[in-house]
Structure 1
């Protein structure tokens, strides 16, 4: 098929590669414009932009698709279909209607649960047992369109957003190829009104860890915000990111500890109920480190309190 691809971050790259490998004609790649990054604050192309150039594909990165000229350029591509995955711009109705078969979105949740911007983070933070990928026919509402294909996967007990992100990206790539191959026979499934939840964008104000919560809640926050923006605590005047954890046996506060108290030299930390073990940490100016390595540079001892 003649496909317009619309995506921006690393999550979208395997999808573009899968469409090319499957033999589809990529009419054009749309992504967000390059933005300043790094120490020099020079404009840096997005991951999709960079990969599309490597693949020899035409790239466009309009700031908006609301003006008539941009919409006319889009329609002039005469595409059979557009595939959209984490693009970052709202598509006006004129754009949704331009391809012969409309626009398909790859969404990283089991719709109607977790419509919106941060479905992977929110699924882990909420303690969902499973999530998945939906291939959805796009319409004007926020992730409200009928679903053509869905595939579920269990969320691992210690899985972080980074790990689940990579798995779902590969699942999405495989599922969109399957969807395009069977497009004429797929039956759209209208999303039910029951079970709708919204995955609002992660706010950095959510990231500070409150160990007064249960060990399960603390663990989900740490894993759900890893690697970005990163759940954090303060210790000895410095901010420390917590990037991996697990729930472990521990007395917690009811056993006599205080929230955030370090229970042993393996970095088990007391919570409002139970305890978590911190497995990977990061201090300012350093890379992520396993707990054993981290403790060589930041000696956190039994009885210290993180908060």
Structure 2
């Protein structure tokens, strides 16, 4: 039995040779833009790199195609990143979802065949792997490498395109199938892409909902592209060209500071959007005992004036970088225990639930009592 390899080390991989399982339901609403003249390809021995649920759907789609069309997909070997330690003493390991799926598919394979999988590969497929695939591995593959990226490339190149799509309030999202660049992320030739402007993003969409929107169409785009032979050179670029007045943005990986509330610049709507995407945002407040404590805002809403029960003469004191302090006016409360703050950049922010440093999550009307100070 082959084992999982650590990324960037060539050796043994978990083999998924001649798999059999329930077929992936395909999205029929997506008509990808790609060259329709199919090119002849040798049977593909795929080396698949991935991690999350987005990549799991692509692996399932490839295994589905392998079962139905072994003349196109002959074998699949999987590479995952090492699991991360967690829990008390960091003694437990949290594996990526793709490893669990690969093991599940491998067990089903063993019930069907004892065929020895090939050790070579002629195509690399990377989906949400998060690390650059070494150029020596890409160059060693006859057909190079392919990558699925959930954006309308060149827009939102980077590690977090879905997050940035929501944070910037975009109304559409695209999917791109590109070649793997040997030295950079998201700089390959675009071989297939959703027609501009892409798939609609519903109002107040969450990150989980956006993943659901792009996952199945992306997996279908990958398989349709292989059927069309887009991996066979010469490669034809079919991506859109942003107009001169369109701002192409990067989708850098988000960090802890991205969840720190910018009280001077963010509107109430932007704070609500950040919580939808990140799960929580945070700030540092000073209480009535002059303690400066970190407070997470876990449930917020951009509200109108008519829901506010007025409170006069109250404020919360925000402690910024370097200890600088600024005040935010408390406009009132709500009948369900929320506290309404007046955002200087616009809008009324209802804070429903918070988690104060050292305490459990609670309703804002109770948890923020020590932080509601008198106006000077």
Give the shorter-chain TM-score range.
0.7 to 0.9
Q: How does 1:224-263 map to 2 (within 5 A)?
A: 224-226=277-279, 230-233=280-283, 237=293, 239-242=295-298, 245-250=300-305, 259=328, 261=330, 263=332
Q: Is the 8 A contact 2:268 2:349 kept in 1?
A: yes
Partner residue of 1:202? 254
Deviation at 1:162, TM superposition (A): 3.1
Correspondence for 1:264 among 319, 333, 339: 333
Deviation at 1:202, TM superposition (A): 0.9
Correspondence for 1:130 among 151, 163, 172: 172
Correspondence for 1:27 among 76, 82, 87: 76
Let me know the Cα RMSD of the aligned residues. 3.6
- Structure 1 residues 121 and 296, CA gap change in structure 2 (3 angstroms): closer
Q: How does 1:68-217 map to 2 (within 5 A)?
A: 77-140=119-182, 141-151=184-194, 152-184=198-230, 187-189=236-238, 192=241, 195-212=247-264, 213-217=266-270
For structure 1, list consecutive stretches of 5 or more residues without a partner in the other structure.
Answer: 58-75
* SS of residue in 2 equivalent to 1:261: strand
- 1:218 to 2:265 alignment: no
- Structure 1 residues 93 and 261, CA gap change in structure 2 (3 angstroms): same
* SS of residue in 2 equivalent to 1:106: strand
Deviation at 1:20, TM superposition (A): 1.3
Q: Is the 8 A contact 2:297 2:354 kept in 1?
A: yes
Partner residue of 1:3? 46
Distance 1:260 1:207 in 2: 21
Q: Is the 8 A contact 2:150 2:174 kept in 1?
A: yes
Distance 2:269 2:122 in 1: 47
For structure 2, list consecutive stretches of 5 or more residues without a partner in the other structure.
Answer: 1-43, 67-72, 108-117, 288-292, 316-327
Deviation at 1:249, TM superposition (A): 2.3
TM-score by length of 1: 0.74
Q: Is the 8 A contact 2:329 2:342 kept in 1?
A: yes
Deviation at 1:168, TM superposition (A): 2.4
* SS of residue in 2 equivalent to 1:22: helix
TM-score by length of 2: 0.62
Distance 1:224 1:189 in 2: 31
